[in-house]
């Protein structure tokens, strides 16, 4: 109650009341309000981090592709490990361990 008694003279001042209404309007109701702006900036930062991650991923994949295109031994190793390919005279056994 004491706080209201201290604030009441300031709230009666039309300039201060106008400023308070203006700030509330800008914070919550305006088309470019500060709440939406903060959310948008957080989203932009997340997209920038994703962009950096995908650039690194593209760089690694490009170097891996170059390596696979130039060396047949690496290509064979990759095909055996990733796609379980085998030669005609071989058998492949997959062993899975349960945790």
B/e letters for 66-77, b = 16+ CB within 10 Å, e = fewer, are eeeeeeeeeeee
Torsion from C-alpha of 81, 82, 83, 89, nearest 10 degrees: -10
- Residue 91 banded pLDDT, cuts 50, 70, 90: confident
**pTM for the complete prediction?**
0.54
For residue range 25-34, list pLDDT tens digits in order.
888 787 778 8
């Amino acid at each position: 109650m004491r706080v209201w008694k201290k604030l009441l003279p300031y709230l009666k001042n039309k300039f201060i009341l106008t400023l308070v209404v203006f700030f509330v309007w800008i914070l919550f109701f305006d088309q470019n309000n500060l709440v939406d702006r903060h959310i948008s900036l957080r989203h932009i930062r997340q997209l920038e981090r994703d962009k950096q991650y995908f650039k690194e991923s593209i760089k690694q994949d490009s170097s891996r592709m170059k390596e696979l295109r130039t060396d047949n031994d690496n290509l064979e190793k990759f095909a055996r490990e990733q796609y379980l390919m085998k030669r005609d005279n071989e058998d492949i056994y997959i062993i899975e361990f349960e945790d």
